[in-house]
């Protein structure tokens, strides 16, 4: 039976857990972050995380607290979470003949509208075996939802249905806030490698610009004719992304830059040390892809931001072998503290282990 009133938000829903997807191998980091960030929102619970599973579950008795976390913890600040949603039920033994109807009935008891349906599975070798199944299941589940009285209302703030399968008969039925979750199934933004880009690293910055920046930040910081500095630029994959968006770039690296990129006339290449280089005038954006200790890179970013040499910085932090969440948290805190002390305002920070990141995370810090 369909719920009686149209529910557009998540706050009225009763969740039993948060389901958070992450890169396989980073479950403990994801769990450490989630537990700490939820506690800061006064939500108390515990995580279950199996190494290599590609997801973490956060359980709490506080159902409204889980809904609060889902809407109030900004997704783009959760470093190890690729995608997340609130679990309303788990079905362990879906009938093979009709998997869709039991799911649709559960959904109909919760909401009258959903803004979309994502069929998801762990991004692991085992999980990938569900990719063909998940594609084929899209139409049957949408039809079953319609039969059960749940309307598909795209482009609204109705919750998004996220069905997380761990095999074809076992599913977690979950709902997400479309404004505070990834707009791509499993939080994976697949990007095509552009033929002209000088290196595969280009995909990291492309994803960061699409995923970490808000629409407004893109308009302000990536404007055609704007200026950027790229520290550790060679051979030029990141610089290429910026010139493609019409920016002029000063590329700092002792290594050689791609000849075609240089011939475009938008790039000045300086063979300098990124840690001692000083810009002649302030720029819109600083980007930095130098592989070094997180604290050292963070210190360099703080130098630029606190002196007003750039309005915002995008940079990678290489993860250490152990205590990876703590290393990222401390590096970002160092920047926030130094910039806050100097300017009197807290910078806006977004940080994520992107799909194209491996043993690193990518951050955007913007002067508020």
Ligand X SMILES: C[S@@+](CC[C@H](N)C(=O)[O-])C[C@H]1O[C@@H](n2cnc3c(N)ncnc32)[C@H](O)[C@@H]1O
- Smallest CA-to-CA distance from 351 within 39, 72, 33 is with 33
Question: Does the protein bind ligand X through residue 235 (CB under 6 A)?
Answer: yes
Q: Which is nearer to ligand X, 29 or 253 (CB)?
A: 253
Question: Does the protein bind ligand X through residue 199 (CB under 6 A)?
Answer: yes
Considering only 27-35, 50-58, 121-129, 199-207, which stretch makes contact with ligand X by CB under 6 A? Answer: 199-207
Q: Which is nearer to ligand X, 202 or 362 (CB)?
A: 202
Task: Answer yes or no: 318 catalytic.
Answer: yes
SS3 of 76-92: HHCCCCCEEEEEEEEEC
- The nearest distance, CB 212 to ligand X, in angstroms, is 16
Question: Does the protein bind ligand X through residue 180 (CB under 6 A)?
Answer: no
The binder of ligand X chosen from 201, 243, 250, 353 (CB under 6 A): 201
The pair of three-digit structure tokens given for residue 350, joined into one six-digit string: 């977004």
Q: How many Å apart are CA 222 and CA 311, to the nearest integer?
A: 11
Which strand (E) or helix (H) includes residue 296?
Answer: helix 294-306
- Smallest CA-to-CA distance from 60 within 37, 29, 91 is with 37
Q: Which is nearer to ligand X, 15 or 315 (CB)?
A: 315
Considering only 26-34, 179-187, 194-202, 296-304, which stretch makes contact with ligand X by CB under 6 A? Answer: 194-202
- The nearest distance, CB 352 to ligand X, in angstroms, is 17
Q: Can you say how many angstroms the Cα of residue 306 is from the centroid of all Cα atoms in its chain?
A: 26
Q: How many Å apart are CA 298 and CA 339, to the nearest integer?
A: 11
- The nearest distance, CB 258 to ligand X, in angstroms, is 8
- The nearest distance, CB 293 to ligand X, in angstroms, is 12
The binder of ligand X chosen from 94, 161, 234, 365 (CB under 6 A): 234
Q: Which is nearer to ligand X, 128 or 271 (CB)?
A: 271
Q: How many Å apart are CA 338 and CA 258, to the nearest integer?
A: 35
Question: Does the protein bind ligand X through residue 260 (CB under 6 A)?
Answer: no
Q: Can you say how many angstroms the Cα of residue 81 is from the centroid of all Cα atoms in its chain?
A: 6
Beta strands in the chain (DSSP E): 17-21, 46-49, 55-59, 83-91, 113-114, 116-120, 151-152, 160-167, 170-176, 227-231, 248-252, 267-270, 283-288, 310-318, 348-352, 360-366
Site string for ligand X, 269-308 (x = CB under 6 A): ----xxx-------------xxx-----------------
- The nearest distance, CB 200 to ligand X, in angstroms, is 8
Q: How many Å apart are CA 313 and CA 95, to the nearest integer?
A: 51
Considering only 45-53, 75-83, 156-164, 236-244, which stretch makes contact with ligand X by CB under 6 A? Answer: 236-244
- 10 Å CB burial of residue 43 (0-12, 13-18, 19+) is buried
The pair of three-digit structure tokens given for residue 22, joined into one six-digit string: 């992450």
Question: Does the protein bind ligand X through residue 137 (CB under 6 A)?
Answer: no
Active-site residue, selected from the candidate residues 318, 323, 342, 352: 318
- 10 Å CB burial of residue 128 (0-12, 13-18, 19+) is exposed
# chain residues binding ligand X, by CB under 6 A: 21
CA dihedral over 79, 14, 104, 89, signed as positive or negative: positive
Considering only 95-103, 143-151, 207-215, 249-257, which stretch makes contact with ligand X by CB under 6 A? Answer: 249-257
The binder of ligand X chosen from 84, 121, 165, 238 (CB under 6 A): 238
Binding residues among 75-114 for ligand X as defined by CB under 6 A: none
- The nearest distance, CB 196 to ligand X, in angstroms, is 13
By annotation, the residues acting in catalysis are 318
Per CB under 6 A, residues contacting ligand X are 198-199, 201-202, 232-238, 252-255, 273-275, 289-291
């Amino acid at each position: 039976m369909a719920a009686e009133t149209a529910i557009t938000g998540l706050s009225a829903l009763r969740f039993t857990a948060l389901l958070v997807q992450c890169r396989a191998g980073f479950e403990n980091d994801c769990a450490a972050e989630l537990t700490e960030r939820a506690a800061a929102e006064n939500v108390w619970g515990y995580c279950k995380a199996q190494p290599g599973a590609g997801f973490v579950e956060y359980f709490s008795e506080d159902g409204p607290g889980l809904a609060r976390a889902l809407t109030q913890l900004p997704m783009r600040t959760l470093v190890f979470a690729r995608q997340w949603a609130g679990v309303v039920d788990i079905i362990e033994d879906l009938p093979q003949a009709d998997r869709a109807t039991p799911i649709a009935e559960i959904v109909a008891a919760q909401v009258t509208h959903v803004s979309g349906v994502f069929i998801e599975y762990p991004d692991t070798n085992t999980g990938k075996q569900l990719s063909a199944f998940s594609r084929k299941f899209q139409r049957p589940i949408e039809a079953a939802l319609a039969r059960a009285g749940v309307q598909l209302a795209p482009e609204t703030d109705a919750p998004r249905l996220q069905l997380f399968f761990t095999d074809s008969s076992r599913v977690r039925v979950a709902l997400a806030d479309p404004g505070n979750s990834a707009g791509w199934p499993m939080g994976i933004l697949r990007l095509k490698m552009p033929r002209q880009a000088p290196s595969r690293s280009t995909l990291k910055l492309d994803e960061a610009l699409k995923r970490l920046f808000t629409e407004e930040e893109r308009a302000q910081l990536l404007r055609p004719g704007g200026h950027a500095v790229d520290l550790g630029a060679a051979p030029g994959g990141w610089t290429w992304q910026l010139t493609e968006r019409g920016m002029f770039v000063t590329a700092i690296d002792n290594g050689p830059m791609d000849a075609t990129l240089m011939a475009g006339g938008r790039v000045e290449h300086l063979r300098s040390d990124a840690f001692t280089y000083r810009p002649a005038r302030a720029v819109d954006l600083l980007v930095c892809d130098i592989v070094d200790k997180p604290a050292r890179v963070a210190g360099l970013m703080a130098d630029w931001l606190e002196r007003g040499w750039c309005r915002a910085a995008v940079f990678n932090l290489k993860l250490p072998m152990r205590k990876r969440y703590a290393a990222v948290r401390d590096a970002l805190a160092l920047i926030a503290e130094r910039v806050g002390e100097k300017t009197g305002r807290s910078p806006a920070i977004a940080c994520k282990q992107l799909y194209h990141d491996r043993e690193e995370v990518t951050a955007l810090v913007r002067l508020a």
